[in-house]
Amino acid sequence: MLLELNNIFKWVTQGGSRIFLLKDINLQVEEGEFISIMGPSGSGKSTLLNVIGMLDNFQEGEYKFLDESVHSMKEKNRSKLYKEYIGFVFQAYHLIDELTVYENIETPLLYKNVKSSERKALVADMLDRFNIVGKKDLFPSQLSGGQQQLVGVARALIAKPKLILADEPTGNLNSKQSEEIMQLFKELNQAGVTIIQATHSETNAAYGSRTLHLLDGGRNHI
């Protein structure tokens, strides 16, 4: 078992009444799964991903990651945990504009204090694998959307995470680019990486091994 969510509740208080973002979410994820989360806008897909990614908190329930209780963990340990095991891919790529492709991919390694020679080797591998060696000195603004997302995925993978969280990874891409990225995810999954993606599109959801539907108010239903 990679992670387990039990009865997760998350809400905000507005005008005295609670508005639920997540309501009684239960989810078990085994290693090697490829899960798609679907649901209309505002159903809490991103919130759920953020909770899983430990970027966001919840009010009630319990969350176990590799048999450790995340909800009772200190901030510092939590960040250590996700630094080690989780990679993020965003709809808007979120590359750092001031860094080149090479440097963007290298950044997570810097924060993990990987030695310089090892970093070089790992980044070179990654560039090779994604076929973007020729673009390594370009800045994000000089790339197309698909290429930027490719870099985004490469960056998420560089630290060898067990889990990739992808929030609408193809939302800003055209269908051809979209297909390429999804194909890439599929290959990664086959190589053993667990993936959870949030998506609007049935086509993309179909790449997954299992789909989780979220209704308005964040109730899950499988």
Partner 1 sequence: MFRNYIKIALRNLWKDRTFTALNIIGLTAAFGVAFLLSMYALFELSVDKFHENVGSIYQVYTTSQIPEGSESSDANPIPFAPTLKSEIPGVEKITRYATGGPLITYKEKTLSIGSAWADPDFFDIFTFPVLEGNKINPIERSTVALTEETAKIIFGSENAFGKTITLQRNNEAAPYTVSAILKDFPEASSLRFGAIFNFQDLPDSFYKDNKDRWDAHNHPVYLKLAANITPEKFEKSTRPFSNLHFADDITTAKRDGAKPNADGQFQQIHLLPFTDVSFADLQVANVKVSKTLQYLILSIALLILFIASVNFINMSIAKGAQRLREIGMRKTLGASKSQLFFQFWGESILVFIVSVMFATLLSFLLLDTFQTLFRTKASFNLIATPTIIFGFIISLLMITLIAGGYPAYLMSKLGTLQSLKGKLEVTGRNRVRNALIVVQFGIAILLISGTLVLQEQLDYMRNKDLGFNKEQVIAFPLKTKKDRKQLMQLIRDELSDKPNIVSVTAADNILGLGKDGTNSTSAMGFEYKGREVETNLLFVDYDYPQTLDIPIIKGRSFNREYATDSLSVVINESMVKEFGEKDPLNIKFVLDDSIQYSVIGVVKDFNFQGMDKSIQPLSFFMNSKKPLYQAYVKVAPVNLVKSYDVVKAAWNKLEPDTEFLGSFLDANIDRTLQKERMMTTMISSASILAILLSCIGLFAISLLVVSQRKKEIGIRKVVGASVSTITVLLTKNFLKLVGIAFLIATPIAWYATSQWLQNYVYRIDLNIWIFLAAGAIALVIAVLTISFRTIQAALKNPVESLKTE
| Site of interaction with partner 1 (CB under 8 A) | 50, 53, 55-56, 76, 79, 82-83, 88, 90, 94-99, 103, 106-108, 110-113, 155, 159
Q: Collapse the DSSP code of 46 into the 3-class scheme (helix H, G, I; strand E, B; otherwise coil) and give the result.
A: helix
Closer residue to partner 1 (CB): 88 or 207:
88
Closer residue to partner 1 (CB): 22 or 205:
22
Q: Collapse the DSSP code of 179 into the 3-class scheme (helix H, G, I; strand E, B; otherwise coil) and give the result.
A: helix
Closer residue to partner 1 (CB): 65 or 82:
82
Q: Collapse the DSSP code of 19 into the 3-class scheme (helix H, G, I; strand E, B; otherwise coil) and give the result.
A: strand
Closer residue to partner 1 (CB): 30 or 137:
137
Q: Is 11 exposed, middle or buried (0-12, 13-18, 19+ CB in 10 A)?
A: middle
Closer residue to partner 1 (CB): 23 or 155:
155
- Name residue 193's amino acid: V
| Residue 5 bridge partners (DSSP) | 27, 63
Token code pair at residue 49: 């991903």
Q: Collapse the DSSP code of 48 into the 3-class scheme (helix H, G, I; strand E, B; otherwise coil) and give the result.
A: helix
Cα gap 168→140, rounded to integer Å = 19
- Name residue 206's amino acid: A
Closer residue to partner 1 (CB): 90 or 207:
90
In whole angstroms, how close is the CB of 126 to partner 1 at the nearest point? 14
Cα gap 27→159, rounded to integer Å = 25
- Fill in the DSSP letter of residue 155: H
- H or E stretch at 205: helix 202-205
